[in-house]
Amino acid sequence: MNDAATVYLILAGAVGLFAWNRLPVELVAVGTALCLAATGVLSTDQALAGFGDTTVIFIATLFVVSTALDSTGVTTWAGQQLIRLAGDNPKRLLLFTMLLSALLTSIISVNGAVAALIPMVVVIAVRLALPTSQLMMPLAFAAHAGSMLALTGTPVNVLVSEAANDAGTGHFGFFEFALIGVPLLAIVVVVTLLLGSRLLPNRTPNSLPPDLSQHARTLGATYLNARDVYRFDVPESSPAVGHSIEDAEDHLPDHVEIVGMEINDGAAVEDMGEVQPGDVIIVRGDPEVVESVALDLGLKARPKPFEADPALVTKRLGVVEFVVPPRSAMIGESVFPGMVTESGDLVVLAIQRGGRDSGPKAVELAAGDVLLVQGEWEALEREAYTDQEVLAVHSPEHLRAQAVPLGPKSKETIAVTVVMVILLATGAVPAAVAGLLACVALIGLGVLSTTQAYRGISWSTVLLVGGMIPVSTAMQVSGAADDAAQLLVDLTSGHDPKLFLLGIFLLSAVVGSVISNTATALILIPIAIAASRELGVALEPALMAVGVSTSAAFLLPITTPANLMVMGPGGYRFGDYWKFGLPMLVLYGLMVVFYIPLIWPL
């Protein structure tokens, strides 16, 4: 058996295992690379080269940038704008989601756009009680169509443009791709809106992130009896200034109690003994006594109850629930609302035991008690990730991302992302370098810690892509790709030139199902050039056919990283892709055969 036959056999086995869906996809990918080395088709270095490939590095950096956009509330803000435009209409939401995906792809590439938008779209789906399977695949497929809107949409466009210039016909213009990209995007959108609900599964993955956008109000209602909780500003003229919280509480009626206090607009301090001008006192009591309390203490009452004024969650300040686990060293410690933790960074606002409020007085903690704690976001994250004596109910990082749009460091994140896009658009540095520079800048500016950056990377996707890249190398070095290409020339020579375009499309659909679209383009470009010269047809439509064909990555999740990224959040199985992608693939083929010659004559 020659090397080409061996490659075909290994590919068939890999695709079969992917379709079987019983083994982790990253395990199959790594196993495929190892099989290529074991059979001697590739050397060990070639088989493992995918894990050091610049494409893999770039994909990993895009996950980090996406994490920064998400954690600083940029994607939450974009999601709010999306919901504002779409309302609660699922069709309109789907339309705007796809348009946003396509537009973003034309700027920062398919993988970057999909990685950045997945968290936002998942949260929107949870909020509107929509199955994520109805949104995730359209998000990825719209990104593939959006890659044809501009030169920077995909590396394939750059390869096609450079090949045209090297062949003597000149570069394709920056927006010349939009002549075919806009109709392709329209096809994807129309098919999705008309057939998506029938062709896409109605499925939700086993775990989805909770919608925490209204979490402050939920906590207020749960812990602070939101209907009876009011906030008081302390003016300089208040007789409470200079007195301790205990002294201020002595002046309150019996049925009114202080449950917490914000120092200087939310900043926690070690000593809460004295009230200062500008502080905010949180009081629980009957509504009818609010006015008298404000009069007695000279406080300025905020007229709205806490449920309508979720100021406990701000750009600087947050609240998190911490549970006391069994065998915690905190069991038996005395805690009361308003106390400051030993670090001086956090304030306890309330304590619950068995789902009931423990009241304003001190209690000895027991296993299962829940504390509502307030402080700066950085302090809450530090407590959640380093203190083993308490467990956070929700990650402060996720809470801030959803509850605080355009939060701290959002401007820095946007600036870094814009610079990265400019570097990618201009080609000033290689894509992997641009991504790494963005990661270094984000960590250096304090947007993300190194731990957050590592956590943000989807390592299963990295392993999967790294394991499948050697397949492209094997296709080329074994002659398997050349055999398929020669067959194309033999079948189309002497026939209608449109049949040649159809041949390019079909070959791309087959080869592109098992290797990356960039690798597929690298294989097809020289074939298209040679065949077009032999057949006496123009080069531009042949090369544009390569670009469009490689963007039609619809049939398998392994075809592109973007398809893989949405597989988990969408709860998809291997066979879900071709059911939804086949109609689009057919329409793409018709566009290649009949529409491209209208714009770039044969």
DSSP for 453-469, please give it.
Answer: HHHHS-HHHHHHHHHHH
Q: 124: number of CA atoms within 13 Å, CB side?
A: 31
| Count of beta carbons in the 10 Å neighbourhood of residue 428 | 10
Q: Which helix (H) or strand (E) holds 132?
A: none
- Tell me the C-alpha to C-alpha distance, in Å, between residue 233 and each of 89, 236, 242, 274, 296: 41, 10, 14, 14, 14
| Residue 266: φ, ψ to 5° | 105, -10
What does the alpha-carbon distance between residue 279 and residue 346 come to, in Å, rounded to a whole number?
16
Residue 130 CA, chain-centre distance (Å), reads 18
Strand partners, 372: 321, 350
CB 28 within 8 A of CB 456: no
Residue 246, φ and ψ in degrees, nearest 5: -60, -40
- In this structure, is the dihedral angle defined by the CA atoms of residues 63, 68, 71 and 74, taken in order, positive or negative? negative
Residue type, position 131, single letter: P
Determine the straight-line distance between the first and last CA of the chain, rounded to whole angstroms. Answer: 41
Proportion of the chain above pLDDT 90, given as a percent: 21
Give the span between the Cα atoms of 178 and 196, in whole angstroms. Answer: 24
The alpha-carbon radius of gyration of the chain (Å, integer) is 29
Find the helix or strand (DSSP H, E) in which 259 lies: strand 257-262
List CB contacts of 414: < 8 A, sequence separation 6 or more: 74
Q: Which tokens hold the place of 568?
A: 């988990």
Which residues of the chain register pLDDT less than 50?
Answer: 226-227, 265-271, 303-310
348 within 8 A of 336, measured Cβ to Cβ:
yes
- 385 CB-near residues (< 8 Å, 6+ apart): 451
At residue 269, the pLDDT reads 41
DSSP letter at 168 equals T
The confidence score (pLDDT) of residue 307 equals 36
Token readout for 433 is 């370098």
**Of 379, 249, 363, nearest in space to 371 by CA:** 363
Burial (CB count <10 Å: 0-12, 13-18, 19+), residue 387: middle
Contact predicate 5/23, CB 8 Å: no
Asked if residues 544 and 588 have their Cβ atoms less than 8 Å apart, the reply is no
List beta partners, residue 357: 352
Angle ∠(49,51,52) on CA atoms, nearest 5 = 70
Beta bridge partners of residue 334, listed in sequence order: 364
Question: Alpha helix locations (H) across 407-538?
Answer: 410-426, 431-444, 450-456, 459-477, 480-492, 497-511, 517-535
Alpha-helical (H) ranges within 21-89 are: 25-38, 44-48, 54-71, 74-86
Q: Which amino acid is at 139?
A: L
Instruction: Read off the amino acid at residue 21.
Output: N
Please list, residue by residue across 510-538, b when 16 or more beta carbons sit within 10 angstroms of its beta carbon and e when fewer do. Answer: ebbbbbbbbbbbbbbbebbbebbeebebe
Lookup result for tokens 């019983």: 22
359 burial via Cβ count (<10 Å: 0-12, 13-18, 19+): middle
Q: Are 234 and 240 in contact (CB under 8 A)?
A: yes
Calculate the alpha carbon distances from 431 to 29, 67, 359, 598 in Å: 24, 18, 57, 34
pLDDT of residue 268: 40
DSSP character string of 29-40: HHHHHHHHHHTT
d(CA 95, CA 196): 12
The Cα–Cα gap between 273 and 246 comes to 8
Q: Which two tokens stand for residue 251?
A: 């002046």
Measured distance CA(228)–CA(225) in Å, rounded: 6
Give helix then strand counts, H and E, for the chain: 27, 11
CA atoms of 192 and 204, how far apart (whole Å): 18
CB 475 within 8 A of CB 511: yes
Residue corresponding to tokens 């929509």: 130
